[in-house]
Structure 1
Amino acid sequence: MDRRNFLNLAALGGFSAAMPHLAFAAAKQVPVLILIELSGGNDSHNTVIDLQQLTEYQKLRPQLALNRDQRFNLDNNFALHNALQGFQVPWNRQELAIVHGLGYPQANKSHFRSIEIWDMATAANQYSDTGWLANILPKLSNSDITALTFGRNAAPFSGGLAQHIQLDNLAGFFERSKKLKNHPRPTSNSALRHLLTLNNNVAASKAQLMQGLSRQVPLATAFPKTKFARQMADVAKVIRMDLNIPAFKVAIGSFDTHRAQKNKHRQLLKQLADGMLALRSELIQSGHWPNVLMMTYSEFGRRAAQNGSGGSDHGTAASHFLMGGRVKGGHFGSYPSLSELVDRDVLYQLDFRSVYQSVIRQWWQQPEYTIAAGLEQLDLIHS
């Protein structure tokens, strides 16, 4: 086997050359954060509707606005897209928080740059190679693996001291890990020999991980067949193994809805709701729900007005969801005005990093942790 073939196997298997061995956790479990990236820029205006601004909303979106049959009233002030109907249950049980108006000054509308800003928790004019969770995660857990990413973008965990694994799914990861294990060790290529040595260091832990999965009671919840729901099912399996991994990341793509948005957006939001609610159901039954927090984020919102193609264009501020067994349910932040637009965009109301910093301080009980000076503290979590 040459170095190229080895690296192909390693990439497919989610192998991390920086990762040592996985230390299995003690009985007490660290609180778990699940990041859910809505890749492409979710249209928040058609996700969470401010009923106090319904007239302005309908004027800005004569074809795109949701009618009465396409939305449901969450309370007297806000409605959600009908695809999120299942969110009514965690809302009624005060397990769902909606944070409005999230953004940052001088918003960048490039997909690549703006998601980098959200992943690294920087200002628009700052650059960093370190994800916003990269340095805090190793302080939280005695596990050598501090994060798992299902999918492509592991940037929130990159750089710093965090040891993370990036993979497509559990089954493929372990199958390809077996292939790495079975290859003979070369004697002439020092770089390849080093990589194989690192892989051998994690082989025993991978075997334990596979044994743990094989011993697990099957999931009690029937997860949907979408890619996102399969990722959430894999997250549930790992959480139920009690490995003390404090963070996970999953994603749904295709939120860049410039054209023919209505049906596509409905399908995407239904996938989101079905996957989140299936995970909630599973973790309630397993007893892990009080120890888990899910949080959505996206690189930007969409403009207030519809475009000429039945869709919406890159915008600024957006609403996002936090769901968990210890979330303080309710509304946080302020919904932006739909009548006071700048360059056809709403004005952001709350720095997104306020949510990040509040989560770290309250969820993981790190009261002194600071991402940036002057950020508003949100009371999001029950102690």
Structure 2
Amino acid sequence: MKQTIIIHAIALAALVLLYGCKGETAAPQAAQAPSLPVYAVTQHDAFTWQEYPVTLEGRTDVEIRPQVDGYLEKIFVDEGAYVAAGQPIFKIQDSRYREALNNATGTLNASEAAVINAKLEVEKLSPLVEGKVISEYQLKSAKASLKIAEANNRQAQAAVASAKINLGYTLVTAPVSGYITRLPKKQGSLVSAADPLPLTTLSDIAEVHAYFSLSESDFMAFRDKYEGNTLADKIKKLPPLALVLSNNSEYEQKGKVDMVDGQFDKSTGAITLRASFPNAKGLLRSGNTGKVKIGLPFANAVLIPQAATAEIQDKIFVYTVDKDNKITKIPVNVLGKSGTDYLIKDGLKAGDRIVYKGFESLQDGAVIVPEKITPEVAVK
């Protein structure tokens, strides 16, 4: 009996202890503020690069067309070949033009003989008129015949010159040095000056021109950024341009803007500029596409790392930190890029603090523990 009472007492004590432990609730601990790197906004001179799509054209793109009709007797070059100015490209069958020249030459010889006969007649009649053997009328008639013979001779000379020109047109030579494009007509084809397509196009690409358009606002910004009394003076102050090809590689040579169109396009509101790039190696061809990068200088620009921004629905936001280390998400207006930095037009000023990274889950009004970083660290 006594043993049973002791066991019950022990069990009761255990229950009391168990319920006592369950009744004690641990007090919740306050959430600690996250420790995040904070970047101090800086301000200094910078360059921003604006990109514009371009189409490249050779310095000279010449359509080679036949000047006379005939069968294409010979093609001296292949597609894509380089030719020098004056080098033969095509030969058109010349037999009928050679015969035309022979015929014109015969007519010229006959006209020259007629001139000689007319002169002899004038020389024969002149003393007879002076001696009053014959009337003056006969001499005047002989002189008129001489003038007709001389006129016929000049026409015959022109016909020979024209026949020589047509015969010369049967050999088509390169007017400039450059590269041959496609050859739509093959040997034996009938060609004509009225053909809608040229025999080929000859592209002089020792230098290529990149044509691109600026909107009116971009053009005004460009015009206001550079010193000079005239537009030509301002163009001279432009830094060299970079050409980015369609595969995103940058062309090894820099270019220079050397032409601005005389007026804006009324339909697009844009104005065309031309930049020229040296192309001694022939790496660029007419018809290539890409983009030109124009550098615009900005004095005392507000710069922030791109990594410290978030893009949401085509807007760029940063997370500012006030004096109490409280977070506020604000939009910023970006002027352009300079390396890995954004140039800020509106929304921030030098000395403002922004969260550099780790802001993805932050809410407005949240408090953080700032970790100061330097601009050098931000670049890395």
Q: TM-score, normalised by structure 2?
A: 0.19
Larger strand fraction of residues: 2
Larger helix fraction of residues: 1
Greater radius of gyration (CA): 2
Q: TM-score, normalised by structure 1?
A: 0.19
